Amino acid sequence: MSSPIYNLAFDFGASSGRLILSKFDGRKIELEEIHRFTNNPVRVGKNIYWDTFRLYHELKVGLKKAAAKKLNITSLAIDTWGVDYGFIDKEGNLIGNPVNYRDDRTIGVIDEIDKIVPLKEVYASTGIQFMNFNTLFQFYADKKMRPSVYENAYKFLAMPDLFNYFLTGKMFNEYTIASTGQLLDAKKRFWDIDLLKRLGLKTDLFCELIKPGTIVGDLIDEVAKETGIESVKVIAVGSHDTASAVAGTPFEEENAAFLSCGTWSLLGMEIDEPVLNEESYQYNYTNEGGVEGKIRLLKNINGLWIMQNLRKDWCEFEGEVSFPDIIKASREAKRKDFIIDPNDQRFSAPYSMMKEVISYCEEHSQGTPQGLGEIAMAIYNGLTHEYKNAVAKLEVITGKTIPCINMVGGGIQDQLLCELTANATGKKVIAGPIEGSVLGNIVMQLKAIGVIESLDEGRKIIKDSFEQKVHLPM
C-alpha cells in the first residue's frame, strides 16, 4: 500500500459519543480520538428525550476537527445505541425530539400486545427478546400516547439512519438496527408486515432496507461547506453499536462467546441462522442481525450504566471519585457478598442509583452496604452473576460448549470486572480490544471501499493491531 487509508468512525453510545480517526497502512490499524462528548438525555415533564440536534452539532464539530488535519479521508460511518428513532414528515423534517428508551411510556405495553398477538407468536416471527423499550413496543406506545406524532409520521429512521440522513439527505433503514428493534421477520430478514398489521401499526413507514457495507453517498453541500470535509463517502456499517462491536471482536476459538461491555452488557454468540427454539423463547434470548449475514444470539443485561450512575451520585453527594477509585475501594471492601439484580426495573432510570442499590440490599435481607466499595461490589456481583447465568443458558440453547469469552468495549479497562467475570463463569476471558464498536465500524468501511475482502480479514488485522489480555478463572 503506497499511502495510508484514513477513515472516520462516529460511535454514539447511550452516555457518550466519540469521533475516531483510523489510519490503516496495509497491515495494522491505528486509532486517534478526535472528538468526545457527553450524551445526556433530557427530562421534560414525565418524558425523557435525546438532545438530538446537540448530538448532530457535536458530529459536525468532529468533522471540522477532522478537516483541520488536512488528510485524505476516504469515508465515514456511524454506529449508535439501539431501538430509538425519529419520525420524518412528508416535508422531510424531523417530528419532535426522539424519545429515550428509558422513558416509561412503554411500561405495560408487552402485556397489551400479548392480548392481541401471543408473545410466543411474536417471538417465533421476530426472534427478538422482550424488553419494554423495543422499537415495536415504542411504536405501539406512540400510537396510543402520541397519536399526533405517530399519525403524521411519513418515514421511520433509527438513530444512525437519522444522523446519516442529516449528513446525506438520503433516507434508508440499515438492517442490523432495524432487526434490533423487533421489526423484522427473523427468517426472511425483511419487514414483518403481517405482525405490524395484526397490531394495527403503520406499514408504510419504512425505507429501503440496506445491508452493512453499503456505500450510501456523499455529504450534502451544506455539511461539506460548513465542516470543510469534502469527497468523503458515507457508508452504512453495522449501524447498531453491538453489531459493530461483534464485528470488531477477533474470535480465536470456535463457539466462543462475546461480551460487549458498555452502558449495556451484551453477551452472546455469533451464529449463521436464528435460533427460535423453546429454550431461547423461555430464556428470552434475542436473534439480532449481524454483518455478513450473521446472527447475534445474545442476552441484554443492564451494564456499566449502574456503576456510571453510582459514580455520578457519589461525586455529587460524597466528593469526587474516579473509576480507579471505585475499583480500589471494591478490592478493599470488608464485605464482598452484597449483590443486586441489575435487570430490576428500579435500576433503569432512578433519581439516585446509590440509594437504589442500598435499598435493594436492605430489602433482600443482605444488610446495609457500608461505603463506596461495598456498594460497588453489589453491582459487580450482580453483573457477573448474570454473565454466569447467560453463558449457561446460551450453552443449553445452542447445545454447544463455550470455551472462552471475548470481552470488548470500554468496560474491559476495569481489570476487576474481567477477573470477576472469569471467576463467576468459570471460563477463560480474552479482553480486548477496548474499541470494539469503532473497529467493527472501520473494518466494514474498509471492506465497502474494497481495501479488504472479508470480515475475517478485518478481524485478523484487528488482532494484529491491538493487545489482548487473558484472565483465567480462579
Grouping H, G, I as helix, E, B as strand and the rest as coil, residue 150 is helix
Whether 79 is catalytic: no
Residue type present at position 392:
A
Q: What gap in Å lies between CA 20 and CA 54, rounded to an integer? A: 18
3-state secondary structure 88-103: ECCCCCECCCCECCCC
Backbone φ, ψ for residue 47 (5° rounding): -105, 160
Which residues contact residue 360 at a Cβ distance below 8 angstroms, ignoring those fewer than 6 apart? 340, 341, 344, 346, 378
Cα–Cα distance for residue pair 9/34, rounded to 1 Å: 10
In angstroms, the CA 451 to CA 92 distance is 35
392 φ/ψ sector (left φ>0, alpha ψ -120 to 50, else beta): alpha
Cell numbers at residue 167, please? 449528513
**Which grid coordinates belong to 77?**
460511518
Which three cell numbers mark 359? 435499598
Output helix, strand, coil percentages for the chain, rounded to the nearest 5: 40, 20, 35
Catalytic one among 11, 241, 313, 414? 241
Is it true that the peptide bond before 98 is cis, omega within 30 degrees of 0? Answer: no
Minimal CA–CA distance to 109: which of 82, 128, 133?
133
Which residues are known to be catalytic? Answer: 241
